[in-house]
């Protein structure tokens, strides 16, 4: 994995552990020689990921929609900053520039990015690993929901492993590196569906 798209919140939570986590993720990726592709903001977890990677000498590529340049206060100290038309262009750029996706704690925008990366993998638009860093149990309920979708039958058995989950970054990166693509919907027959 040469570059990973990192999805995370642009807010600064009250608990400082989330900002520390984001900084450490950026630093660790840079130390491993993995470039960061992210939302291009300088605030919240987004900014901490970027600053952690930059402080360790890493490559950081920001992708930010024009409408959010001012609202998210675009980070001007990145390796590259791409200003795009809208959110669809942003997510497409993440997919085009990265070799995988890591989701840190975040809100609705982060969830939108995670679910799109998963649905695109399920359909067959990409074969890259999709990781979820469940730091401090933040995503416990989302993980339970993922299992519920499988239990009920809305998530096909061949797609249950699309979401790669770990509580620590090192374990998550190791699991992502071992990722084997599943059979995407575009390669299934009607009997498989």
The DSSP annotation for 114-164 comes to HHHHHHHHHHTS----EEEE-GGGTTHHHHHHHHHHHHHTSS-GGGGGGEE
* Residue ranges in the chain modelled with pLDDT below 70: 72, 187-193
CATH number of the domain to which 120 belongs: 3.40.50.450
The Cα diameter of the chain in Å comes to: 52
Q: Classify residue 140: in a domain, yes or no.
A: yes
Show the tokens assigned to 130: 């999709």
What is the model's pLDDT at position 186?
73
What is the model's pLDDT at position 184?
73
Q: Classify residue 192: in a domain, yes or no.
A: no
Show the tokens assigned to 107: 């809100």
* Residues 3/32, Cβ–Cβ less than 8 Å: no
Number of folded domains in the chain? 1
What is the model's pLDDT at position 141?
98
* Alpha-carbon gap, residue 144 to 163, rounded angstroms: 12
* Alpha-carbon gap, residue 55 to 106, rounded angstroms: 22
What is the model's pLDDT at position 183?
77
What is the model's pLDDT at position 192?
67
Q: Classify residue 193: in a domain, yes or no.
A: no
Q: Classify residue 17: in a domain, yes or no.
A: yes
* Alpha-carbon gap, residue 96 to 98, rounded angstroms: 6
Domain with 169, as residue range(s), is 3-187
Label the pairing between strands 101-103 and 80-84: unpaired
What is the model's pLDDT at position 111?
97
Q: Classify residue 177: in a domain, yes or no.
A: yes
Q: Identify the H or E element spanning 36.
A: strand 35-38
What is the model's pLDDT at position 73?
86
Label the pairing between strands 3-7 and 101-103: parallel
CA angle 125, 126, 132 (to 5 degrees): 120
């Amino acid at each position: 994995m040469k570059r990973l798209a990192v999805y995370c919140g642009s807010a600064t939570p009250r608990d400082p552990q989330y900002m520390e986590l984001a900084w450490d993720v950026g630093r660790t990726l840079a130390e491993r020689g993995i470039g960061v592709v992210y939302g291009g903001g300088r605030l919240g977890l987004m900014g901490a990921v970027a600053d952690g990677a930059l402080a360790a000498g890493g490559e950081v590529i920001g992708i930010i929609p024009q409408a959010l340049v001012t609202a998210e206060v675009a980070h001007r100290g990145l390796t590259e900053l791409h200003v795009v038309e809208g959110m669809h262009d942003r997510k497409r750029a993440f997919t085009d520039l990265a070799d995988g996706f890591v989701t840190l704690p975040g809100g609705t925008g982060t969830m939108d990015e995670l679910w799109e990366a998963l649905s695109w993998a399920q359909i067959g638009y990409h074969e890259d690993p999709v990781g979820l860093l469940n730091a401090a149990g933040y995503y416990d309920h989302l993980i339970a929901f993922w299992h519920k979708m499988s239990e009920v039958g809305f998530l096909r058995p061949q797609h249950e492993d699309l979401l790669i989950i770990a509580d620590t970054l090192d374990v998550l990166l190791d699991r992502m590196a071992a990722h084997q693509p599943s059979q995407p919907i575009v390669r299934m027959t009607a009997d498989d569906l």
